[in-house]
Amino acid sequence: MTPLLSVRDVSKSYGQRIGCTEASFDLYPGEVMGIVGESGSGKSTLLNCLAGHLEPDRGEVIFDTRSDGPRDTLRMSEPERRMLARTDWAFVHQNPRDGLRMAVSAGGNVGERLMAVGARHYGKIRDGAIDWLGRVEIDESRIDDRPRAFSGGMQQRLQIARNLVTGPRLVFMDEPTGGLDVSVQARLLDLLRGLVREMGLSAIIVTHDLAVVRLLADRLMVMKSGRVVETGLTDQVLDDPQHPYTQLLVSSVLQV
């Protein structure tokens, strides 16, 4: 089986400081990978390198494209990479304000990706938007409201709808539940888990919240100071941590 995403030795440094270094892994179709670590451990840097937002200093990010099979996305031309970013990829930001257009209605936000890939039929774009708002549990009557009028949880769900409307195969998520209260988090996780299973999505989730990866991720990668210190199946890593840092991380979680 060809991996959907194959990461080889990706490194990025900010001058003298290391952002992330020598990260390598394979992600198979339908698999959800969690990246955990404390603030500043390089997990966001790695995610941004993979998603093409940052240019890594070294390494390869090979994506199995629909048309020509595995390609190194770092060596693609900018138009190709942008096309990939709005068809096969999705990026869910921690702060929905980064991922949404706050001055554009919910329907327009969801429809943007459709229009960017060439949809030019208003009725169909709107139907697509209504369908997706329903799937993320936003009432159809809110379609013409701006995201400003939405609660934090709704904004995050809207961002997810906007990203998934073109049927991507790989979703990057940067702390998707950060800044939400626990009950809203639970609903969002439930929703995400459903969508991931239903659509057969592959996903890379960056988070510092171990509960999130326990629920969503099949596999786990633990990062510290820009390096991957431990990888394995989620339950294995969380229940039987090997690296001292992972042990510390797991034992730091408050038990209620």
Partner 1 sequence: MNDYNFAYLDEQTKRMIRRAILKGVAIPGYQVPFASREMPMPYGWGTGGVQVSAACLTPEDTLKVIDQGADDTTNAVSIRKFFETTAGVATTEHTRGATVIQTRHRIPEEPLTEDQILVYQVPIPEPLRFLEPRETETRKMHALEDYGLMHVKLYEDIARHGAIATSYAYPVKVEDRYVMDPSPIPKFDNPKLESAAIQLFGAGREQRIYAIPPHTRVVSLDFEDHPFEPTKADAACDLCGAEHTYLDEVIIDDAGGRMFVCSDTDYCAQRQAAGHHGRLSPEDAA
The C-alpha R_g of the chain, in whole angstroms, comes to 18
Residue 104 interacts with partner 1 (CB under 8 A): yes or no = yes
First to last CA, the chain: 42
Residue 105 interacts with partner 1 (CB under 8 A): yes or no = yes
Specify the residue, 49 or 110, whose C-beta has the smaller distance to partner 1: 110
Smallest gap from Cβ 19 to partner 1, in A, equals: 23
Token pair 């595995």: residue: 70
Residue 158 interacts with partner 1 (CB under 8 A): yes or no = no
| Binder of partner 1 out of 115, 149, 248, 253 (CB under 8 A) | 115
Could you count the other beta carbons within 10 Å of the beta carbon of residue 16? Answer: 5
Residue 82 interacts with partner 1 (CB under 8 A): yes or no = yes
Specify the residue, 20 or 90, whose C-beta has the smaller distance to partner 1: 90
DSSP state letter for 73: G
Task: Tell me if 216 sits within 8 A of 205, measured CB to CB.
Answer: yes
Which burial class, exposed, middle or buried, applies to 126 when counting CB atoms under 10 A from its CB (0-12, 13-18, 19+)? Answer: middle
Residue 111 interacts with partner 1 (CB under 8 A): yes or no = yes
| Binder of partner 1 out of 70, 75, 117, 235 (CB under 8 A) | 117
Which stretch in 11-19, 41-49, 110-118, 132-140 sits in contact with partner 1 by CB under 8 A? 110-118
Site map 5..24 versus partner 1, x via CB under 8 A = --------------------
Alpha helices, DSSP H, located in the chain: 43-50, 78-87, 96-99, 106-116, 122-135, 152-164, 182-199, 210-216, 234-239, 244-252
| Binder of partner 1 out of 35, 61, 125, 164 (CB under 8 A) | 125
**Residues near 130 by beta carbon (within 8 Å), at least 6 away in sequence:** 107, 140, 143
| Binder of partner 1 out of 53, 97, 126, 187 (CB under 8 A) | 126
| Binder of partner 1 out of 120, 141, 198, 254 (CB under 8 A) | 120
DSSP state letter for 237: H
Q: How many residues bind partner 1 (CB under 8 A)?
A: 23
Positions in the binding site for partner 1 (CB under 8 A): 78-79, 82, 86, 101, 104-105, 107-108, 111-113, 115-117, 120-123, 125-126, 143-144
